[in-house]
Structures are given as C-alpha cells and as structure tokens.
C-alpha cells in the first residue's frame, strides 16, 4: 500500500496496517541478541549504553513539542493523554525523571557524565532520534505516527522491548534493581503509552489526509529505528 490511499480506512483497519508493517520490519540485530543472551563483554555493553544515551537525551523535549500540537477541540482528552505521557517521562507521576534514571543506569555501569558527553554516537542513533524529533515538531498527526505508533505501540505476540533488554541485563551482567530502574519502569510504561497512542488515533486519524501524514511518519520512523538497532552490530566488529 502506498502512502496515500483513495479513501480513509477505518481506525481498526489502519491500526492493523500499522501493526503488520511494524511486525514485518522488526530489526535483526546480532548485537541485541548477544546482549540478552549474555554473550557481550562489559566494554561492548558500556559502548552501547553510551550510544543509546543520545537517543534518550532528546526524548523529553521531543514529547513536549508533540504535546504543544495536541488538539484541544472538541475536548481535551487527547491533550490529557499525551500530557500524562510527558508527566511520566519528567518524573511527576511515580518514578524519577527518565533522563535521570538513564544516568543512574550508566552510573551502575561505571560510566560518568563526562564519558557520555565525550562519546560520538553512531549516525543511525542520531538518525532515529532526529526522525522522531522532526515529525513530533511538524504536526500532531506525524508525531502520533513517528512516536506514538512507531515507538510506543506494542505488536501483539512480540516481546516487550524494555522487558527484553531488562531481563537480559539482569540475568547476565550482575546489575541491581536500582541500576535497571530505567528499564523496569518502561516495561509497564510502554503498554500504557501505546494504548494512549491508539486512543489518539481514533480521534485524529479519521480522514485520508490525516492517515497519509501518520502513515509516512510511522513508516519512516520504523525504518529509522530498525537502522539504529541494527547499527549496534558495528560494536561487535570493533
């Protein structure tokens, strides 16, 4: 199916299309497979953690930009859903700010803030963060595609991404609960945030034009995130 259809799909059909696209283009990463199986050395894990920081670091400003474009008519329901996502990321609901929790994760790996700032991330990591940032600042519909559906929406039958990483790090690398808090809170958060995105789609993805904007941002974000994940394989060869 192309980016623009002749007519608008029902919300259910459009969501099924997105799920199928996301399932069919799941990343194939030897590095992450090695991570969850405990086959990496500490230097490789630390290099990945430093690189992923440059995906985490711009996330809160990106979500804030997306919230600024959220519709408030005919009611404020969608605005409240996205605001709750942002409040969670910023540490105003349960846990600490997610950026700070990631710094805590890095500290548990003996990575200092100075080391993070000295690290030069992979182009694929920059690309995924920039793709999400671009679309979240472009329009609400495109942010919904690039972030709400491409990142937050879970694919039925596929393992929760945060749980996948959390369990691998816990089982094989001797990391305690405090170090892994960033990952553990995302296990539950991904499910809630994904449901919020689906609700937003039902309100803001009704027309053919809206669906075209969502579809393009969603597909491009899926491809960019797959490239980021597969890009970590470079750490196996260096």
Q: How far apart are CA 19 and CA 221, in angstroms?
A: 13
* Residue 2 located in a structural domain: no
Q: For position 77, what pLDDT does the model report?
A: 85
Domain annotation covers residue 164: yes
pLDDT digits (tens, 9 = 90+) for 204-236: 888 999 999 999 999 999 999 999 999 999 999
163-189 confidence digits (pLDDT tens): 889 999 999 999 999 999 999 988 876
Residue 74, in any domain of the structure: yes
Domain CATH for 134: 1.20.910.10
| pLDDT exceeds 90 at position 84 | no
Mean pLDDT on 85-103: 89
Has residue 3 been placed in a domain? Answer: no
Residue 4 falls within a domain, yes or no? no
Residue 104 confidence class, pLDDT cut points 50, 70, 90: very high
Give a yes or no: residue 5 inside a domain. Answer: no
First to last CA, the chain: 39
Whether 6 is covered by a domain: the verdict is no
85 contacts 63 by C-beta, under 8 angstroms: yes
pLDDT score at 212: 96
Task: Kindly state whether residue 216 falls inside one of the protein's structural domains.
Answer: yes
Q: Residue 81: what pLDDT?
A: 84
Task: Give the residue carrying structure tokens 């605001």.
Answer: 83
Q: Which residue has the higher pLDDT, 40 or 96?
A: 40
Task: Give the mean pLDDT of the chain.
Answer: 91
31-50 tens-digit pLDDT: 999 999 999 999 999 999 99
The model carries a pTM of: 0.92
What is the pLDDT, as a whole number, of residue 193? 56
On the question of pLDDT at 194 being above 70, the answer is no
Q: How many domains does the chain have?
A: 1
Please tell me the predicted confidence (pLDDT) of residue 130: 98
Expressed as residue numbers, the domain containing 173 is 11-236
Residue recorded with tokens 């590095």:
31
pLDDT at 112 over 90: yes
Mean pLDDT of 100-123: 97
């Amino acid at each position: 199916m192309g980016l623009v259809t002749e007519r608008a799909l029902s919300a259910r059909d459009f969501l099924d299309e997105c799920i199928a696209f996301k399932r069919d283009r799941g990343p194939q990463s030897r590095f992450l497979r090695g991570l969850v199986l405990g086959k990496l050395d500490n230097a490789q894990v630390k290099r990945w953690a430093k690189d992923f920081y440059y995906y985490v670091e711009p996330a809160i400003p990106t979500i804030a930009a997306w919230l600024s474009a959220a519709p408030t008519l005919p009611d404020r329901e969608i605005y409240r859903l996205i605001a709750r996502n942002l409040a969670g990321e910023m540490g105003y609901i349960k846990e600490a700010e997610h950026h700070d929790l990631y710094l805590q994760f890095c500290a548990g790996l003996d990575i200092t803030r100075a080391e993070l700032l000295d690290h030069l991330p992979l182009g694929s990591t920059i690309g995924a963060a920039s793709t999400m940032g671009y679309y979240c600042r472009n329009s609400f519909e495109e942010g919904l595609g690039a972030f709400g559906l491409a990142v937050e929406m879970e694919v039925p039958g596929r393992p929760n991404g945060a749980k996948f990483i959390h369990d691998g790090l816990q089982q094989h690398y001797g990391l305690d609960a405090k170090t892994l808090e960033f990952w553990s809170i995302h296990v539950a958060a991904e499910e809630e945030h994904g449901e919020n995105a689906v609700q937003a789609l039902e309100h803001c993805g009704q027309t053919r034009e809206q669906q075209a904007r969502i579809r393009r941002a969603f597909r491009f974000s899926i491809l960019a995130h797959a490239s980021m994940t597969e890009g970590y394989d470079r750490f196996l060869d260096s």
